[in-house]
Every structure is written in C-alpha cells, then in structure tokens.
Amino acid sequence: MCVAPDSPSRLLRCAHQSRCRECGNHIAWYRRVDDRFVRLHPHELSVADVPVGYHWHVSASLVHHAGDGSPWCRLAHGVVRPARAVDATNAPELTGLRLVLMVNTCRLTEAGVFTPNAPTHTTQQPDDACRPARPVLQLLYVRYLAARPVDEIQCVAQTLHRDLCTHTVLTWDGLAGLWKLVTATSARRQLVLSVDAMALYDLPCLPYAEQLRWHRQRCPQHAAALTAADLALTDWARFDPLIHQGHAHPRLRAHIRRPHDGGDPRKAAQR
C-alpha cells in the first residue's frame, strides 16, 4: 500500500474509490505493473461468471491482467460500463451485470446525482469534424493526450462535501490556449507516421501558474485551495506519435474565434 504524500486526505493509491464520469457507477483505481492505472469494478466476482480473457487480480498492491488460481477475480469497469456500446456476444456472461449498472445509472440520473454526457454520434457534422474527442495539448513544453475534449476536462479536486468538483479546467472568463498546426514527428524515428502535421492545443503561451493549474487539472477555485485533495486521477497521458497517431488530426478549422475577439474561450477551445 502506498499513501500519496501530497494528499491531505491521506488516500491510498491502491483501490482509490471514485465514480465513473460516463455512467456514475462506483469504480476502484488500481496501479498496473507498467505504472499505469486501470478502473476496476469495485466488487470481486466468481471466475465462473467472468470469461477467461477478462480476469484481473490484485497482488502486492498491483493489478495483473490474469488469474491467480483463486475462485474470485476482478473485472475492468470498461467491459460492463453502460455508456459503452459493447457487442453482447463477446461476453454474454456479463450482460446481467451490465444491466444492473445501467439501471443504477438511470436511478442516479433521475435523482439528480449524476448527469450523463451528451451522446456521441458516429456521423459528425462538418463543423465538428476538427473537434477531436481526445485532443493533443502542449503543456509545460510537453505534449499530452487528453481523455476528453478541451472544454470538457473536469477538475479532479475534492469539494467541501467530499464530492468531485463539477467545474471544468477551462473557464468562461479565464485565459485560453491557442490551436496550432505543428509537425507530427516521431522521437524514435523508426516508422513513418500516417500524417505530416497535426492540430495541437498550445498552452505555453499562458503564464507558468496557469500551465501548472492545467497540469494539476484543477479549476481556478481549487488551484488556490492548497488543502483540497485530489479525488480523481488526472487525464493526461504522454503523447507518443507512434502509439497515438490515430489521435493526430491533420487540420484546423478555417476560422477560429479568439477569446480577445469577443468569443467565448470554451467555444474557441472547441475549434
């Protein structure tokens, strides 16, 4: 077990409890052997009810994608997440659990505890064609791959009511970055990339304090609250052109409204 030294709440890094942002159900964060994190269903399941390829188990505070010989196993939350379109024929044994989570999502939505995200459509409109679902950001001169659009990146701080903050990092009246078209190069120089250029949300034009706030993934209110603990993990992943080249978008919108032109920074970030 490892305790985060910078967390006032002294939360354990292993089995960090939170809620899924896509469906509102409880999840548990575990660290993998490759130092990455995975979201697991918070309860153990019988190995007879879970297909062999979906088994996870925890050993020495780390989670492993395999069985350990015990009659119980863990399950990745993404397999049964109601917000994900999954072919039921791939794992028919998990259909019942997925329906239970779907019903719980409906109950949370009706009670006002959880607000589902707007449904995404496979056919995008021309105006949204260059709004990547997982944009690339340049932050503190390092390129990161975000888990959601720029204007939807949520603060990870804990509120006074011990809930996850609902504010976004990008604010209506705050400073915003600029979209740029940069060269998509590979540091390894081993493979030829599918694109020569990619759209990038550039933040080094902002003051250092603002870039640090983005890196910590906090809204302005919780950026100043040093005693507020993080209730979720940040969404940043180091961008690798070879691994993430599918998220490299090769063009920008023809016209981008800048915040100083009277436009909303949220709308400018969407373009």
Q: Which pLDDT belongs to residue 257?
A: 43
Among 119, 158, 132, smallest CA distance to 11 is for 158
Calculate the alpha carbon distances from 50 to 42, 60, 61, 72, 102 in Å. 15, 23, 22, 9, 18
Among 193, 205, 87, smallest CA distance to 141 is for 205
Burial of 237 (0-12, 13-18, 19+ CB in 10 A): middle
Q: Which pLDDT belongs to residue 2?
A: 56
229: helix, coil or strand? Answer: coil
Tokens of 120: 């995404």
Q: Please say whether the beta carbons of 215 and 153 come within 8 A.
A: no
Tokens of 217: 């993934």
**3-state DSSP percent of the chain in helix, strand and coil, to 5:** 25, 20, 55
Q: Which pLDDT belongs to residue 120?
A: 42
Tokens of 95: 């259909």
Q: Which pLDDT belongs to residue 213?
A: 92
Q: Please say whether the beta carbons of 80 and 97 come within 8 A.
A: yes
Q: Which pLDDT belongs to residue 84?
A: 66
Cβ-Cβ contacts under 8 Å for 148 (sequence gap 6 or more): 133, 134, 154, 235
Q: Which pLDDT belongs to residue 87?
A: 53
CA atoms within 13 A on the CB side of 65: 10
* φ, ψ for residue 53, nearest 5 deg: -70, -5
Q: Which pLDDT belongs to residue 218?
A: 92
Task: Please give the chain's pLDDT, 271 residues, in tens.
Answer: 555 555 555 555 555 777 888 888 988 888 777 767 788 898 889 988 888 888 888 887 778 887 778 898 999 888 888 866 555 445 777 888 989 999 999 998 888 888 776 544 434 444 444 567 888 999 888 999 998 888 889 898 888 887 888 889 988 776 778 888 887 765 444 444 556 678 889 998 889 999 999 999 999 889 887 778 888 888 898 888 777 777 887 777 554 444 444 445 555 555 5
Q: Which pLDDT belongs to residue 212?
A: 92
Q: Please say whether the beta carbons of 154 and 165 come within 8 A.
A: yes
Q: Please say whether the beta carbons of 156 and 207 come within 8 A.
A: no
> How far apart are alpha carbons 193 and 246 in whole angstroms?
10
